[in-house]
Amino acid sequence: DMDAIQLFASLNFKALGKRLGKDMKKVQQEAKALSQEELFRFERDGEIVLCGHVLTSDDMTLARHVANVTDPNMEACGNAEAAVVADFTSDPELVELAAAREIATRIQKLRKVAGLQQDMPVDIWLGVQRGLGDQPAQDLAQVLHRRRDAIERRLRRPVVVLDSAPDVSDEVLGEGVVARETLDLGGDFGRDAVIATLTLPRA
């Protein structure tokens, strides 16, 4: 929407100071009062007359800005050549895929900390620890179910997503727990966290 693009004038005080003398302040005030139409005309013609003085593009430069950007997820910036508006609204699918990558990476690090060899088979169990506070933007338990395949591809191992609460999962896992870690992902998941548990395969 070109109507949202506005031009702003900036005077070259170093170049104009000696030339304009006492008229400098008047020219500055008149430059601030220029309409968008006048600024676009200056951009087209390369010169403008203010208080009887001819100003060229060496004396006054223009910058583009985007007006009325009220969405907190939008960021706007511009210069003499262009104006750019970037939309930083969170994409749920990208958030889920990023979470899957982070979970897989943290599990790989957990294996190393536990001293497990790369080829040593372990069962991987994932559950969710619900945090206190407001409802997070993303349901972490649902993300685990939806993105389990992505996690498994990165780990090259099957993953079990637990529906039971982590505090009772030992009854399911038995006594073969070799490592466990709370994975706090933050962001859209609020205070919810993944409980990752590695166990020895059952005989």
Among 150, 143, 154, 140, smallest CA distance to 189 is for 140
Q: Are 55 and 47 in contact (CB under 8 A)?
A: yes
Share of the chain above pLDDT 90, in %: 34
Q: What is the pLDDT of residue 116?
A: 84
Among 164, 149, 156, 171, smallest CA distance to 195 is for 164
The one-letter amino acid at 159: V
Share of the chain above pLDDT 70, in %: 76
The answer, yes or no, to whether residue 168 has pLDDT greater than 50, is no
- pTM across the whole model: 0.57
Among 30, 55, 53, 35, smallest CA distance to 45 is for 55
Q: What are phi and psi of 169, to 5 degrees?
A: -70, -25
Cα–Cα separations (whole angstroms), residue 135 to 144, 157, 183, 191, 203: 17, 31, 18, 9, 41
Q: Are 49 and 1 in contact (CB under 8 A)?
A: no
Cα–Cα separations (whole angstroms), residue 158 to 25, 54, 148, 151: 74, 75, 9, 9
Alpha-carbon 169 to chain mean position: 35
* Nearest-angstrom CA–CA distance, 164 and 105: 24
Cβ count within 10 A of residue 197: 25
* Nearest-angstrom CA–CA distance, 38 and 35: 5
Convert the pLDDT of each residue in 126-155 to its tens digit. Answer: 988 887 666 666 788 889 999 999 999 999
Convert the pLDDT of each residue in 16-33 to its tens digit. Answer: 988 898 899 999 999 999
Measured on CA atoms in the order 169, 173, 177, 182, is the torsion positive or negative? Answer: negative
Please name the residue that has the structure tokens 């497990």.
116
More confident residue, 48 or 1: 48
The answer, yes or no, to whether residue 91 has pLDDT greater than 50, is yes
